[in-house]
Amino acid sequence: MIVASNLSKRYPGGYEAIRDVSFAIEAGQMVLITGHSGAGKSTLVKLIAAVERPTSGSLVVNGQNVAALRRSAIPYLRRHFGMVFQDQKLLFDRSVLDNVLLPLQIVGLSRREAIRRAQAALDKVGLLTREKVTPIALSGGEQQRLAIARAVVNRPAVLLADEPTGNLDIESADAILGIFADFHRVGVTVVVATHDQHWIQRYHPNVLCLDHGRMAA
C-alpha cells in the first residue's frame, strides 16, 4: 500500500531531513515511526500524506507515485487518509459536531447522512455527549479525540498521526492509544510518528526507526 524507495527530502538551505529511506507498509498494519527529536519523523508522515514532496526517490501510495502527482490529483489521494497532526486545526468558532461534519460537507454528503456519520465518529471517541459545545470547552485530550473523530469520519483506509500523544498526560495518552488500536483491529492501516514507548510496549507494532534522517539499522 505504501512503498518508499531511496526516499529523500532536502529543504532550502541544504538541510536533508530524510535520506535514502526505503520501506514497505502493507494494508492493515500498525506501524510506528520512531527516533530522536529531529530524526525526520514528522517529515516522513508529511511525505506520505503528500503535504511535502520528495526531493528524490519514489513514494508509491495506493499505486500512485506521490512525487509525480499533479497538484490537482493530491486532494483525491488524501481522501484515502485520515490525518491527525500536532497542529490540530480545530475550528473554535464551531461546535464539536460541526468540526467533524466539515470533511463530509466538502465531499458533498447529504446533511442527514453526514450528521449520522459524524455522531458515530464522536461516539467512537467518547465525545457524543459533547457534540454541541465548542472545542475551547474541551480538555487537551478531548481536543485530540475530536481531531481523531474528524480524521476518521470519512472512513479512511489509512490513519496517519504525528505525535498524537505528545502534549497529553498519561491517562489521556492511554485513551488515545486505545482508540488507534481499535481502528487497527478493524482493518485500518495505522501509521504514527511518536517518541512514546508505550505504543511499542502495549501493542508490539511494526517499527520504522529513523536516525538523523536515515533508517536505523
Which residues of the chain are in CATH 3.40.50.300 domains? 1-80+156-217
How much of the chain exceeds pLDDT 90, in percent?
69
pTM beyond 0.85, yes or no: yes
Q: Pick the closest to residue 180 from 155, 210, 152 (CA basis).
A: 152
pLDDT band at 217 (very low <50, low <70, confident <90, very high): low
Most confident of 60-69, 120-129, 167-176: 120-129
Greater pLDDT, 27 or 203? 27
Rg (CA), the chain: 17
Mean pLDDT of 47-71: 90
DSSP string across 167-184: TS-HHHHHHHHHHHHHHH
Q: What is the pLDDT of residue 175?
A: 87
120: pLDDT strictly greater than 90: yes
Q: Pick the closest to residue 163 from 154, 178, 176 (CA basis).
A: 176
Mean pLDDT of 171-198: 89
Mean pLDDT of 172-177: 87
Q: Which CATH superfamily is domain 1-80+156-217 in?
A: P-loop containing nucleotide triphosphate hydrolases (3.40.50.300)
pLDDT band at 203 (very low <50, low <70, confident <90, very high): confident
